[in-house]
Amino acid sequence: MPLIKNKEEKKRLLRELPLMFSRLIIAGIPVNRFLKKKALVIGAGGLGVIVAETLARTGIGGLYIVDRDVVREENFNRLGFSREDIGKPKAVALAEKIKALRNADTIDKKYHINVMAFHADIIGWSKLESLIKDVDIVFTCVDNAIARSEVNYFIMKHKKPMIDGATSYSGFNGTVMTIIPCKTPCYECYYGSRSLIKVNNIERIGYCDASLATTMNIIASLQVDQGLKILLGYGKIYPMIKVYLDSGVEIMTQENLKPRKDCVVHRRFCNG
């Protein structure tokens, strides 16, 4: 459902905003509002590259990118990096591409993106909490349960929505988990010691040895879709979306999921 319903408003935005946003405005997306938002993308691999670039192309105003790895040739089966990037920190290489896209001399500086790259491991990282506190939304695109758990703690503490993306061990399936603090289950609710999901009974999610660009693109796109709906206030939010591409094409959505009453993170940050 278009968010910009007034034709005159669309015409005004089409006149004022850079041409790269024109198709979004025609679709009804209020890019002028999105330009005021800031996101943190944790992980600049197969999912994070697509999430960050899509956010930039959709008009996000500020973007922090964090990744501990460097670009290698085995990363080329996914989108985002080229041979000239080999050896560069992934976060830095991705930030450079986004700046080249959004901060061209032909674009008024008030529409430029403020993007910062951090070559760092977020586990135990002193800057993590301050970055989460500073943004409107967090996207996790990592294959490490400890990292996810640490991010979950701080997004719950500071009441920031988090959109987590993961692909399966086989590379054919994936999951998008949307966490709205104190309203939906958090990462601890699903995967903590008293979890809703018994990890040993399902295909491993989020430990990606195999990777397919097809799966990565779908999962990352769904992450951004849910993020847009939260930030711009439209459409339906699903706490869990599961995608299966191994034998066909199947997308399952789960809604009306509630936080666990015995979740230690919810007890700490959502009571009273």
As a whole number, mean pLDDT of residues 115-119 equals 98
pTM across the whole model? 0.93
Range of the domain at 188: 35-269
Q: Decide if 28 is inside a domain.
A: no
DSSP string, 107-168: S-GGG--EEEEEE---TT-TTHHHHHHHSSEEEE--S-HHHHHHHHHHHHHHT--EEEEEEB
Q: Decide if 23 is inside a domain.
A: no
Residue 116 in this model has a pLDDT that exceeds 80? yes
**pLDDT (tens digit per residue) in 33-69:** 999 999 999 999 999 999 999 999 999 999 999 999 9
Q: What is the pLDDT of residue 75?
A: 84
Q: Decide if 44 is inside a domain.
A: yes
Q: Decide if 157 is inside a domain.
A: yes
Q: What is the pLDDT of residue 125?
A: 95
Query: Structure tokens of 195?
Result: 């979890």
Q: What is the pLDDT of residue 1?
A: 59
Q: What is the pLDDT of residue 2?
A: 60
CATH number of domain containing 76: 3.40.50.720
Q: What is the pLDDT of residue 54?
A: 98
- Number of separate domains in the chain: 1
Q: Decide if 59 is inside a domain.
A: yes
Q: Decide if 128 is inside a domain.
A: yes
**pLDDT (tens digit per residue) in 170-210:** 889 999 999 999 999 999 999 876 554 544 444 444 444 67
Q: Decide if 240 is inside a domain.
A: yes
Q: Decide if 9 is inside a domain.
A: no
